[in-house]
Chains A and B, each alone.
Chain A
Amino acid sequence: MSKIVKSLPRILELRINSKDVNISKSELAFSLGYSDQNIPEQVDEVIDQSMELIHQNVMPSGGFVILRDKNIIFDNHTIVIDDICLLSEKIISKYLKYADTIAILVATIGNSLEKIVKQQMDQNEFLSGYVIDKAASELVEKTAQLVEDKLFEITAEINLSITNRYSPGYCGWSVSDQHKLFSLLPEGFCGINLTESSLMIPIKSVSAIIGIGGKVRKEDYACKLCEIDFCYKKHS
């Protein structure tokens, strides 16, 4: 591994202010299927009523581990990190194989919104529960984006680039690899843990790998790589 990669931090847990992770009314409406012009009045009201509650209950945290000290072998189907073999799909390894190293990124917004959604559903307030759940899904992606932006910033300082982020469960990559991925992180990193079935707790969490190097780049249309037709990430 090059000296330049060795100069990257091995681990970084970010302090994220909840005010830095927010969703606008337009963004939330869009995630529900509406434009600003066609939000039904009752949905509009529920969004307005929920915004403060949503933003008060986002507890973002995130960070990444750069595997700069690991021996990583890329081929067309797999990434072997020391003795851990990740990925069985060509779709992702194709974009990562030119990387000098990889970072494992995690982000979460905590479990407060998850609890509120459950309360709303238990009280048969399905619309409110659905709206808050959608907002939570968007907010965890925004938190992950902040972490990715930080990684971009520190790699750009030493003239390296990063790839898109790729998550178990997407782009044909099995969620079962989640345990291998988490074995490369400190236990409970950023407050996220895994269940036996690879479910992240808090549920509104994201994990991903990102390639780092001089010969990698971000693809504009990452969703076009994936075959899952009904993925929520494809709504836009």
Chain B
Amino acid sequence: MNDLLNQISICIERGKVSAQSPHPADMKGLAGAIELTKEALNNKIPAKDILDNGLLKGMQRVGEKFRDGKIFIPEVLISAKAMNSAMELLKPYFLSGEINLKGKVILGTVTGDLHDIGKNILRMVLEGGGWQVIDLGVNVNADKFINSIKEHNAKIIGLSALLTTTMQNMEAIVKSIKVIFDDVVIVVGGAPLNREFADKISADAYFPAPQGMLDYIDNLFNNSNHSYE
């Protein structure tokens, strides 16, 4: 069992989606994350073990390498793609409640801003890290965030902006959300931002790269009694 889970984690780390994937070259022809996850399920390995000790373990190593500057965003995206492909096989177990994702995160690029590359990459990284992401898209105002928080009962919100003009809109959005939901954690990001700005607008955290937000909310998940589902 451990060997199979270890192989799954290696496939995630190396971005080996399936046996048909030509990459990485030294794994050509070998089973990928999809086949190995199927095999693990056929062998009656609990879905939770596959998720925790196979898939997420692989992504955890990817996160460590990114933090250490050993890999860059393209490799994180390659691994996240393998992760998400294997996660499709676990969908029935999520739906039945046998296993759960870590929780829900709402993401959106704020009012006036149409940039979505950074937010999309963040979404991919968070999903690869075992979080359910509700992506509200671009040009998202406070009402839309608030309605989504109510609808999904989410506790973690990510706001993105790429302009010094639109980042100013974050302040009103953060205030509007905090007035209604004082237990919601709001993380902000985007090229022109910094920690001082995040403090000034009473956001809970700021990260310049997606892995920082993943580590932060993973830490919240591991060290809190709150449910983020």
Chain A interface (Cβ < 8 Å from any Cβ of B): 32-34, 40-43, 45-46, 117-118, 121, 124, 126-127, 129-131, 133, 169, 174-176, 178, 195-199, 203, 228-232
Tell me which residues across on chain B come within 8 A of A133, comparing CB atoms.
117
Is the pair B165, A176 in contact by a Cβ cutoff of 8 Å? yes
**What are 11 A-B pairs at a CB distance below 8 A?**
A32-B73, A34-B72, A43-B75, A129-B120, A130-B73, A130-B74, A197-B113, A197-B163, A199-B165, A203-B114, A230-B191
Given A40-B78, A197-B165, 17 further pairs, Cβ under 8 A: A33-B72, A41-B23, A42-B74, A45-B23, A117-B117, A129-B117, A130-B117, A169-B163, A169-B164, A174-B165, A176-B165, A197-B112, A199-B112, A199-B166, A228-B192, A229-B208, A230-B208
Number of A-B residue pairs having CB atoms within 8 Å of each other in the complex: 90
Tell me which residues across on chain A come within 8 A of B84, comparing CB atoms.
124
**CA of A43 to CA of B74 in the docked complex: distance in angstroms?**
7
| Chain A residue nearest in CB terms to B72 | A33
**CA of A46 to CA of B81 in the docked complex: distance in angstroms?**
14
**CA of A229 to CA of B207 in the docked complex: distance in angstroms?**
12
With A197-B163, A198-B165, A203-B115 as known contacts, state yes or no: A127 contacts B208, CB within 8 Å: no
**CA of A117 to CA of B115 in the docked complex: distance in angstroms?**
11
Tell me which residues across on chain A come within 8 A of B78, comparing CB atoms.
40, 42-43, 127
Is the pair A130, B121 in contact by a Cβ cutoff of 8 Å? yes
Is the pair A232, B191 in contact by a Cβ cutoff of 8 Å? yes
Tell me which residues across on chain A come within 8 A of B113, comparing CB atoms.
197, 199
Asked if B171 CB lies within 8 Å of chain A CBs, one says: no
| Chain A residue nearest in CB terms to B167 | A175
Is the pair B77, A169 in contact by a Cβ cutoff of 8 Å? no
Tell me which residues across on chain B come within 8 A of A126, comparing CB atoms.
77, 80-81, 120-121, 124
**CA of A133 to CA of B118 in the docked complex: distance in angstroms?**
10
Tell me which residues across on chain A come within 8 A of B163, comparing CB atoms.
169, 175, 197-199
Asked if B25 CB lies within 8 Å of chain A CBs, one says: yes
**CA of A9 to CA of B208 in the docked complex: distance in angstroms?**
43
Is the pair A121, B120 in contact by a Cβ cutoff of 8 Å? yes
Task: State which of B15, B23, B117 has its C-beta within 8 Å of the C-beta of A121.
Answer: B117
Task: State which of B75, B114, B165 has its C-beta within 8 Å of the C-beta of A40.
Answer: B75
**CA of A130 to CA of B73 in the docked complex: distance in angstroms?**
9
Is the pair B116, A121 in contact by a Cβ cutoff of 8 Å? yes
Is the pair B191, A124 in contact by a Cβ cutoff of 8 Å? no
Tell me which residues across on chain A come within 8 A of B164, comparing CB atoms.
169, 174-176
